[in-house]
A and B are shown apart, each in its own frame.
Chain A
Amino acid sequence: MALLRPSLPPGDRFGLLAEFPTPAALYHACEGVRDAGFTRWDAHAPFPVHGLDRAMGLRPTRLPWISLALALAGGAAGMGLQGWVSTIAYPLNISGKPFFSWPAFVPITFELAVLGGAAGAVFGMFALNQLPTLWHPLFGSQRFERASDDGFFISIESWDPKFDASATAELLRGLGATNVETVAC
């Protein structure tokens, strides 16, 4: 899990925040920003706009592998624990069933595998997203509060190699931004 503040390079200007009127406008703007070669940027919307990850050029996430690994670990732990307990640590004769009665171990093994997978998905997602990050420069913008309501935004960080205060703002306005503001750190 991440620290509660994002790790950003030194500087007092975070970057630009551009607002767009609709998901469609945001989509096309993202394609424009992606094609212009920016790397340190992000889009913000109150729900995941379908196809936007492709428009931004994002690569698929590694999360499924994390989840799978933890699921297998959980299942192995389950079968291992039960097997060890029933054969070595505390073997009991239960209605003549064999000590390593694997069919009877399946339910708990399965449940622990699911738990592992779920934990992998959730905590993996937190880790990959670096959550919790309770404070972020973007929260300094009043308008940004609409990102969780009905606003659609693109933010471009000033540390991006292609960033230029006026040119980037022009680009964003050209792509259809209704409002472009500078966000301080």
Chain B
Amino acid sequence: MAEHAIAPPALHPDVFRLPAAHPWTRLPLIGSALAVTGLGASLALGLGNRPQLWHSWLVASLFVLSLALGGLFFVLTQHATSAGWSGAVRRIAENAMATLPFVALLFAPLLLGMGELFHWSHADAVASDPLLAHKRAYLNVPFFVARTVLYFASWCGLALWFGRLSRRQDRSGEHELSRRMRRASAPALILFAITVTFASFDWLMSLNPHWYSTIFGVYFFAGCLVGIFAFMSLVAIAQGRAGLLVEVVTVEHRHQIGQLLFAFVAFWAYIAFSQYFLIWYGNIPEETGFFAERLSGSWRPASVALAVGHFVVPFFFLLPRAVKRSSAALAAGALWLLAMHLLDLYWLVMPNLHHGGMAPHLLDFTTLLGAGGLFLAAYGWSSRRQALVPLGDPRLSESLTFEVI
């Protein structure tokens, strides 16, 4: 740490862009190769095992969707609060949210799999079950599809609009664009909250249509935040290791992202515990089924692993200041948390297919490879078309001299 105030870095313009021959420019290609391999293998393996295919595909798609949505949320809140510290790292989130149109492509095939995923999509099931009949006004295929289209249209719309204005600001440096984005961010956050809540109800909660929980949207949202801050930590560190933005994204930014990661790990635990605890305490059968299922057979150790691995271990690991300021330690923690976030989504989805115990399948990995590859390709493509930091942000200079408390 410097003895004096952070001296102004003398920054060469090349610092802000991805050099033409840099390995990272090949990210779209690598990502696409992974995507094709993964998705191809998934289709090959999955045609004979459709339920497994769709469930695994759902987990993988939700994983990358949660990162993209987390990016969108970060961008919106940074604009809404007129934040100054985040300029140097905001493009990471902007690139993450730019993948949303591609993630929409991942969800399109899932609509074909609705029959295997959603019990309520079968007319005979609805006819024989009064609860499903009651929910028919909401849980029916046409409305569900329309809602999905609406969610993705909203998210893609927001991502494209904010991304486009940010890029335009790179060129023109107009402050007016920041003001427009700030004014738009508040209604955008309202739209975000409503769409993410109902998307989580649709795609996750209705997998078990008899069950319900008012906090479920918040729970999914908390997972998105853990995911995005883990992702941003990894990218910020990887960028530095790759020789990009070395003097721009400093240990202070990584520390700050690490603090946010820590805070939202605690927030996730708070929401997850609230949900579990209240259902446990009330002990009402129509609610407890959700957890009873996840505490039976080999799901039980998975649940314990989730509690310990997604909260207890990362909480104490990320607590010390030194860890958040060490690239290696923070990267390890972030990678671990991405894995835990994936486990969280797996734990939400898979017990609907594999009752009585975990049954990992090759399709889980191939679909993850496919979805992850697509996400990386889209991320890489987005980061190639623009500068690595939002050059026109009026507060960029403040971000460059940012110091954590």
Contact = CB atoms under 8 A, between A and B. Distances in A.
**Is A–B contact present in the complex under a CB 8 A cutoff?**
yes
Interface of A: 51, 54-55, 95-96, 103-104, 106
B277 A54 contact: no
Given A55-B3, A103-B276, 14 more contacts: A51-B4, A51-B5, A54-B1, A54-B3, A95-B283, A96-B283, A103-B273, A103-B277, A103-B280, A103-B281, A104-B277, A104-B281, A106-B273, A106-B277
Nearest to A55: B3
A96 B281 CA distance: 10
Nearest to B405: A50
Contacts of A96: 283
A26 to B, nearest CB: 14
A102 to B, nearest CB: 10
A97 B286 CA distance: 18
Contacts of B281: 103-104
Contacts of B1: 54
Nearest to A95: B283
Contacts of B276: 103
A51 B405 CA distance: 11
Nearest to A51: B5
Contacts of A51: 4-5
Interface string B276-290: 110011010000000
Nearest to A57: B3
Question: Interface majority SS on A: helix, strand, loop or mixed?
Answer: helix
Nearest to A31: B3
Nearest to A104: B281
A106 B312 CA distance: 14
A96 B1 CA distance: 57
A119 B280 CA distance: 32
A95 to B, nearest CB: 7
Interface residues of B, number: 10
Contacts of A104: 277, 281
Contacts of A55: 3
A150 B304 CA distance: 56
Interface string B1-43: 1011100000000000000000000000000000000000000
A106 B280 CA distance: 13
A21 to B, nearest CB: 19
Contacts of A54: 1, 3
Contacts of B280: 103
A103 B4 CA distance: 49
B276 to A, nearest CB: 7
Contacts of B3: 54-55
A51 B273 CA distance: 40
Contacts of B273: 103, 106
5 contacts: A54-B1, A95-B283, A96-B283, A103-B276, A106-B273
A54 B1 CA distance: 10
Nearest to A96: B283
A19 to B, nearest CB: 23
Interface in B251-280: 273, 276-277, 280
A103 B283 CA distance: 13
A70 to B, nearest CB: 15
Contacts of A106: 273, 277
A104 B277 CA distance: 8
Nearest to A54: B3
Nearest to B4: A51
B403 to A, nearest CB: 9
Contacts of B4: 51
B319 to A, nearest CB: 8
A104 B276 CA distance: 11
Contacts of A95: 283
Most buried by B among A51, A55, A104, A106: A51
A120 B234 CA distance: 34
A55 B5 CA distance: 11
A166 to B, nearest CB: 30
B51 to A, nearest CB: 33
B321 to A, nearest CB: 8
Interface in B273-324: 273, 276-277, 280-281, 283
Contacts of B5: 51
A104 B283 CA distance: 13
Pairs of residues from A and B, 10 with the lowest C-beta to C-beta distance, nearest first = A103-B277, A103-B280, A54-B3, A104-B281, A95-B283, A51-B5, A106-B273, A106-B277, A103-B276, A103-B281
A96 B283 CA distance: 10
A5 to B, nearest CB: 34
